[in-house]
């Protein structure tokens, strides 16, 4: 894939999947703006690829407006956005087998949905409006949004919402030449996964670079509204097809 002359924005770009995608996009020739609430982390990754870093709170509509205006003023265009910033309910450092119930508070719900859902919605709208010549938006959803995940129900809920948003907005944005799709990772070796789980089952987690490759695959495929499953390293991403729902009920 050749993205020479294109400008990309990656949220949550200071570490993990976001940082890997920054490197992949830059490797394909794009000029990359690395956005993260962790300004220092974003700056470090941007320095690797001769890109630029900006601090961004994805839950703030005003912050999104300022960030996109900054990209257009400095870079002159926006062609690609990877909306990747995300969090889990489980506190960092907590064990995988800890009881999840104490964490399922209203405040925790609002915080998680603010980042994982509102951040995607606000980012989609802000970036799509800035893509005057069309472009590509890729959202990091998750396998967790497609299966039961009792270890973090809020997270699973947020990722199901992200996938549904992509499916629903696909045809809407396509009319303006903007293609939105999602990538659903399986287990990925990042700090968001409890350390004890990664230590116990190291072979179950693919490197972030695997998902970065899936993001580029989604861009190249140019299929609006598609949800791509990237389950494990070595497996090519595949488009998930939801079963049809019939008005007549089961068996019709």
User: What pLDDT digit, counting tens, does each position of 122-170 carry?
Assistant: 999 999 999 989 999 999 999 999 998 888 999 999 999 999 999 999 9
Highest mean pLDDT range out of 100-104, 116-120, 209-213? 116-120
Check if the beta carbon of residue 158 is closer than 8 Å to that of residue 111: no
How much of the chain exceeds pLDDT 90, in percent? Answer: 76
**Alpha helix stretches (DSSP H) within 106-207:** 106-113, 119-130, 153-174, 195-200
0.95 exceeded by pTM: no
Q: How confident is the model at residue 252 (pLDDT cuts 50, 70, 90)?
A: very low
d(CA 68, CA 11): 12
Catalytic residues: 155
Highest mean pLDDT among 41-45, 184-188, 200-204: 41-45
Residue 172 has pLDDT above 80, yes or no: yes
Question: pLDDT digits over 46-71, tens only?
Answer: 999 999 999 999 999 999 999 999 99
Return the CA Rg of the chain: 18
Tokens of 74: 């400095």
Average pLDDT of the residues of the chain: 92
Strand partners, 206: 188
Contact of 54 with 74, CB cutoff 8 Å: no
pLDDT of residue 100: 87
Of 208 and 224, the one with more pLDDT: 224
Higher pLDDT, 45 or 244: 45
């Amino acid at each position: 894939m050749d993205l020479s002359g294109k400008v990309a924005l990656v949220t949550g770009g200071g570490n993990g999947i976001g940082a890997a995608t920054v490197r992949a996009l830059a490797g394909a020739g794009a000029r990359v703006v690395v956005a993260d609430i962790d300004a220092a982390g974003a700056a470090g990754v941007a320095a690797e690829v001769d890109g630029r870093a900006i601090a961004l709170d994805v839950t703030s509509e005003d912050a999104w407006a300022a960030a996109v205006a900054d990209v257009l003023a400095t870079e002159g265009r926006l062609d690609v956005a990877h909306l990747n910033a995300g969090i889990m309910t489980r506190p960092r450092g907590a064990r995988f087998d800890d009881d999840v119930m104490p964490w399922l508070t209203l405040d925790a719900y609002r915080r998680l949905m603010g980042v994982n859902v509102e951040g995607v919605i606000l980012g989609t709208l802000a970036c799509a409006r800035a893509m005057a010549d069309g472009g590509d938006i890729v959202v990091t959803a998750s396998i967790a949004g497609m299966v039961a995940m009792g270890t973090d129900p809020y997270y699973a809920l947020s990722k199901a919402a992200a996938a549904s948003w992509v499916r629903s907005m696909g045809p809407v944005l396509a009319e303006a030449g903007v293609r939105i799709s999602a990538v659903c990772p399986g287990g990925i070796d990042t700090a968001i996964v409890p350390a004890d789980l990664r230590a116990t089952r190291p072979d179950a987690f693919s490197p972030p670079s695997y998902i970065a490759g899936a993001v580029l695959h989604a861009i190249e495929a140019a299929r609006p509204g598609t949800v791509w499953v990237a389950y494990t390293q070595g497996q090519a991403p595949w488009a998930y097809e939801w079963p049809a729902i019939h008005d007549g009920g089961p068996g019709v």
